[in-house]
Every structure is written in C-alpha cells, then in structure tokens.
Amino acid sequence: MSELDKRIEQWRTDLTTSETLGNSDIHELETHLREEIAKLTTSGLSDDEAFVVASRRLGNKPALEAEFAKAHPHRRLAHRLYWMVIGVLGYYLLLHVTSIAAWGTAWLGYAAGVRTWQHLAVVTAIVRLALFAAGSWFALRCYTSYAQSTARNVPISIRASIFLACAVLASWWIGLLPNVALDRIVPHECYTCVYSAQCWAGFGWGFMMPFLLVAALVVLSVRLKRATGQTSVVSDGKDRTRVTGEMQSRLREEIKHLTASGLSADEASLIAHHRLSDTGLPRAEFAEAPPHQLHANHLYWMVVGILGYLFVSWVGTLASSAWAWLGYAAGVRSVWLVLATGTVHVAVSFLIVVLALRRRASRAQTTVQRAWISLGVGLFAAIGIVLSWWVINSARPFLYRRLSEDGFLQIVGAWRWVGFGWTMLFPFLLAGVLIVLTMRRMPTACSR
C-alpha cells in the first residue's frame, strides 16, 4: 500500500466514527477525494500536496457532518438508537450468562462445604461481577479489533440480530429450568441456602449496577470530550514560517505559478511555503486517537441504552403493578387481569420511549454530552430504577398482609405472566428494531 493510500485509509477511518456519515456517503466522498487528487497531481503537485489540498476542499469532519445532517436530520438519532439497542441486548445476554455461572458457583460452593448463605452470596456476587466485566471487555475488544481491521462501521445483519435475541432467550431458559428441577430433587435445606444466597446477590446487583453504569457514563463522556479536542486542524495559511528577503521574490513567483494552475491563494501560499521554506505540510483533519477512543462513542450510547431500558422497564412494571391492584379491587379477575396489566405495562413503556426520543431528536445535533449533564441524567435514571425496584419488591409483603390468599395469588400471578410475556417477546422486538435501523443505515448489510 502506497503512502497516499495509507493517508486516504486513515482519513476514511476517522470518518467511519461519524454519527451522520454512512458507508455509502464515505465511499462517495472518497471517490471525490481521489478524483480531486488525480486532477491536482496532473497540475504538478506531489501526492502529499494533492491530498492536503483535496481534503481541504472537501471540508473537515465537523463541516461534512453538518452538511450531511441537513440532508439526513434523523441519521444521528438512528445511529445512537442503534447502539442503544445493541447495548440492551448485549446487557441481558451477559446478565443471563453470568446468572447461570453464579448459580453454578453457588451449587459448587455448597457441595464443597460452604453452608452459610452469606458466604455463598459474597462468592457468587464476586463471580458474577467479574464475569460481567470480563464479558463486556472481551465483546468490546473483539468488535474494536474487527472494525479497525476492516476500517468500516460494522453493522448487525438480520441473522446476527435474530441470533442475539435467541441467545438472550435461550440463556434465560437455561438459567430457569435447572433451578426448577433442582427445587424438586435436592433437599429443602440445601435449596433454601443456595436460593437465599442468590437473592441477596441479586439484591446487591440490582442496587449497585445502575450507579456503576452512571460512573461508566461520566468516564466515557469525559473521554469523548478529550478525544474530540485532539483533532488536528490544517493551517489556514496565515501563520507561515518567516522567509528571508531574497526568498520573497521566489515565493511570489511560486504562488503566482500555483495560482495559475488552479489553486486558490491560500492553497498556493500553503504549498509555496512548504516547497521553499521547508515547512512541514499540515496533516489531514483527522483525529489520531487510539482505537478505544474512536469507539468510545458506541460504548457511551450502549450504556445510555441500558440505563434507559432499565428505567423504562421498572417504571412500566411499577405502573402495571399498581394497575393490577386497582383492577383486582374493581373486580377484574383471571385472564382479564393479566391482559389489563400487560397492556398498561406496554403502554407506559412505549409512552416513555416516545417522549424520550422526541426530546432526544430535538437535541440530536449535540455530538457529545457534557460530563455534568451525563452525571445528572444518569443519577436521575439510577435513582428511579432503584426506587421502582424497591417499591415492586416491597409490594409483595405489603399485599400479602392486606389481601386474602386468592387476591394475593391473582395479583402476583398477573405480575408473573406479564413478566414472562415481556421476557419472551421483548428480545425479538429489539431485534426487529435493530434490523430496521440496520436497513436504514446500511441496506447491503442485510444480505449477510
């Protein structure tokens, strides 16, 4: 690969991190860039000089993003929503896989002689958190290395989307069925100890994970701010290295010659100073950031998606639970109670998502969130998640003390059936959204 091809590839790699430029747009820009370089080289410029002038004429990355954002105003929002959905699916896949590992660790610990649920809870919580962190790091590392090797925005295809949804669902069943079977096989004391350990480990997970996500959100926001400020800017031609008096005439002649060949006054001055004063040619306007910074934007919106989904899910569950109680008090029973509860859950969740997307669409031109905004919004979501989760788990003993056995079973049964339906259908709804967004971003990706 020639030096010119390397510079063009690096220029293209930087554009692939844009939220408004699709692969087809970048390919079109690269075609224009190569055509412009070919014209400039025929006029006497070297490859490096032609590349710098051609890239200046096309515009820097912020200017290109602003131009394409006018033609495709919702592309930035679709890009962010795309990575949010991937983050939610990936989160639940890792959550179910680590839950399976935690249950296995608890059973092995009990078999090895650990008989107190406190010790089992600590061990399983450590294993679960370590596997979750390792799985997240491995998935991000694999994606980053693959995307860097191809220098493309790697889309999720139809088959990959469906596979991811099926993997989420299969991991949930794999974690559920063995525990149901073991409840009937092992002694009651053994199952109670292991189950208590898992409940307390899950309590710690549900309480701490939202705040860990908020911390990750703030760190990524700060990193993105720093990465954005590392973009090198091409000199505007005004600050030149001073030349001696005897070189002034040669410099004017060179600028006059270059201007006659089709360059603007600023471009001619830039090239002439480089040739006669031996000033280094400015590099192209790309951010020479390491791979983990180039893909921090994707991870940022994954974390936002996970926090948003947890918030929507728990608030929807809280609203549907209140409706189940009110419905039972109004005389709704059996299947109708389940249908009413499920409808309220879906309606409330859909309403929150629509309102959030409408607000996000009006602010989608913002490339990076400020750290304090991320902290404030993230803390609000985390506190909302924990409070909703706390209210839901406190509602069961509250209802058990105040309702008859039939009423308690009716309401809890409605909750469980709605949760079961949500778990079965929601991964495939997310996969459907992912496929639609992939088709909008890169239609050719759906054939893979």
pLDDT tens-digit series, residues 261-291: 677 777 777 777 666 665 555 554 444 444 4
Specify whether the CB–CB gap between 200 and 117 falls below 8 A: yes
Q: Which pLDDT value is given to residue 290?
A: 47
CB atoms within 10 A of CB 305: 23
Amino acid identity for residue 194 in this structure = V
Instruction: Say which residue, 416 or 366, is predicted with more confidence.
Output: 416
State the helix-helix crossing angle for 371-402 and 405-441, rounded to 10 degrees.
150
Looking at the chain, the whole-number percentage of residues with pLDDT higher than 90 is 0
- What is the rounded average pLDDT for all residues in the chain? 77
At residue 375, does pLDDT exceed 80? no
CB atoms within 10 A of CB 211: 15
Q: Which pLDDT value is given to residue 1?
A: 56
Mean pLDDT of 54-71: 79
- Measure CA 350 to chain center: 20
Specify whether the CB–CB gap between 302 and 86 falls below 8 A: yes
Q: Select, from the ranges 73-82, 161-170, 218-227, the one with the highest average predicted confidence (pLDDT).
A: 161-170
pLDDT band at residue 229 using 50, 70 and 90 as cut-offs: low
* Integer Cα distance of 223 and 291 in angstroms: 12
Q: Which pLDDT value is given to residue 313?
A: 87
Q: Which pLDDT value is given to residue 371?
A: 61
Amino acid identity for residue 285 in this structure = E
Q: Which pLDDT value is given to residue 240?
A: 47
At residue 374, does pLDDT exceed 80? no
Lowest model confidence (mean pLDDT) among 56-60, 96-100, 135-139, 250-254: 250-254
Q: Which pLDDT value is given to residue 163?
A: 86
Q: Would you say the pTM of this structure is higher than 0.85?
A: no
Residues with Cβ within 8 Å of residue 167, at least 6 apart in sequence: 93
Structure tokens at 86: 């991937």
pLDDT band at residue 151 using 50, 70 and 90 as cut-offs: very low
* Integer Cα distance of 74 and 20 in angstroms: 9
